[in-house]
Amino acid sequence: MHPSTLISRIEATAPPQLAASWDKCGVQIASATSTVTTLCVALDPSVESVRRAVEMKAQFLLCHHPLSLSPKLPSRLDDFHEVLRLALGASMCVYSAHTSLDSNPDGPVNWLGRLLELQDMAILEVTRRETPTLLRLTDLTEQEKVRDLTGVVTRSGGQMEEYLLWPEELPGFKAKLGATASCQEIALGAPVRQYGFGCIGTLPAPLGWNEFSARLASLGLPLSRISGQIPQTVTRVAYCPGSGADLGPAAFARGADVYLTGDLKYHQAQAVQDLGLTIDVGHFCLEETMMRTWSQSLDRELSPEGVRVVFLPGRNPFA
């Protein structure tokens, strides 16, 4: 598979336009390779992960965290320098899907909600809203009407057809249109597609604290660092992988009994301690499983096309 094709597949799940303005998603280290037969997936572009990917002769390493959030020169013999040396020496592409992945509620970021079977899922902090465009085509010839046009047909008759298209579908669709077709774009206010950080949902049935905490423990989530009062029963659950402690107030305002995230600091804990129970499971746990989940999905998608997908487990620095 060509690297550009693989990047398109990655960005179907982690669209670059969803990334936060401060983030550095996308290609971190470019490569001249023209064929990818082995894709490695890891949480961090650490020296250990890059070295293992090189040993596996991978042409592409997909990570969640960026190599750096600010441009810098490899002016010191540190981990940054070693990662560059290893990747460039093996001509291996390194790609980061960071907040572009975090913001997609239909992606692997919601692995926990799916395992807990949360219902009525919603986003805690909406950062982007998209609406489709209604494309009205008129004066179509018979040949143009049988073109392979991808989109939702809302109406068709005579020499007129209407298609409902989301923003990412519109450019490719218009490129396939015949030169004689008359095209009118109509902006719609609905439906709306939302993206953002953090998730909240309702359990299928309320669970006592002992049963709920046992389920979290069975998923490898530590419960040793908590702030707030432990509820007798849990109905609404919210979570945000990574450093999501700032979303605690929003979670409890939406009725969460429990909020799970990482990197809870002292003053953040003070702000939410009387609102509900916050569990700091650490930056590592939720995101490590997210990337493992994504690697499994990529393996199902890409292995029939000759691409081997290997997940590289990371190490929790606090374990």
3 preceded by a cis bond (ω within 30 of 0): no
Q: Is the dihedral of CA 145, 146, 148, 153 positive or negative?
A: positive
Taking the C-alpha atoms of residue 43 and residue 195, their distance in angstroms, rounded to an integer, is 22
Pick 271 or 136 by higher pLDDT. Answer: 271
- Among residues of the chain, what percentage have pLDDT more than 70? 92
Average the pLDDT over 50-55 and give the result: 98
- How far does Cα 202 stand from its chain's mean position? 21
**83: three-class secondary structure by DSSP:** helix
Calpha distance 227→247 (Å, rounded)? 14
CATH number of 108-128+196-280: 3.40.1390.30
**Local confidence band at 65 (pLDDT 50, 70, 90 cut-offs):** very high
For the residues 42-63, what does the mean pLDDT come to?
A: 98
What distance in Å separates the CA atoms of residue 181 and residue 156, rounded to the nearest whole number? 14
β-pair type (93-96, 152-157): unpaired
pLDDT exceeds 90 at position 181: no
Please give the single-letter amino acid code of residue 182.
S
| Angle, CA 122 vertex, CA 256 and CA 234 arms, to 5° | 25
Query: Mean pLDDT, to the nearest integer, of 67-86?
Result: 96
Q: Are strands 26-29 and 160-165 parallel, antiparallel or unpaired?
A: unpaired
Place of tokens 């037969």: 37
Nearest to 21 by CA among 81, 109, 103: 103
Q: Inform me whether the pLDDT recorded for 148 exceeds 80.
A: no
Q: The tokens of 38 are what?
A: 């082995």
Region 244-249: mean pLDDT is 97
Phi, psi values for residue 74, rounded to 5°: -80, 65
Mean pLDDT over 123-137 rounds to 93
Q: Report pLDDT for 149.
A: 58
Q: State residue 146's pLDDT score.
A: 43
**In the chain, beta strands by DSSP E:** 26-29, 38-42, 60-63, 93-96, 119-130, 133-138, 152-157, 160-165, 182-187, 193-208, 226-227, 233-243, 258-262, 277-280, 308-311
The sign one gets for the Cα dihedral 138, 141, 146, 150 is negative
Phi and psi, residue 252, nearest 5° = -75, -30
Report the pLDDT value the prediction gives residue 135, as an integer from 0 to 100: 87
Q: For residue 190, what pLDDT is reported?
A: 85
Residue 159: which pLDDT band, with cuts at 50, 70 and 90? Answer: low
pLDDT band for 182, please (50, 70, 90 cuts): confident
pTM: 0.91
User: How much is the average pLDDT of 37-62?
Assistant: 98
- The Cβ of residue 60 has, within 10 Å, a number of other Cβ atoms equal to 24
In angstroms, rounded to a whole number, what is the distance separating the alpha carbons of residues 261 and 3?
Answer: 33
pLDDT of res. 228: 97
110-129 pLDDT, tens per residue?
Answer: 999 999 999 999 999 999 99
Backbone dihedral region of 124: left (phi > 0), alpha (psi from -120 to 50 degrees) or beta? Answer: alpha
Which pLDDT value is given to residue 141?
57
Contact predicate 205/237, CB 8 Å? no
Domain ranges within the chain, ordered by starting residue:
3-101+287-311, 108-128+196-280, 132-187
Taking the domain 3-101+287-311, which CATH number applies? Answer: 3.40.1390.30
Distances (CA, A) of 210 to 206, 215, 223, 232, 274: 12, 9, 12, 9, 21
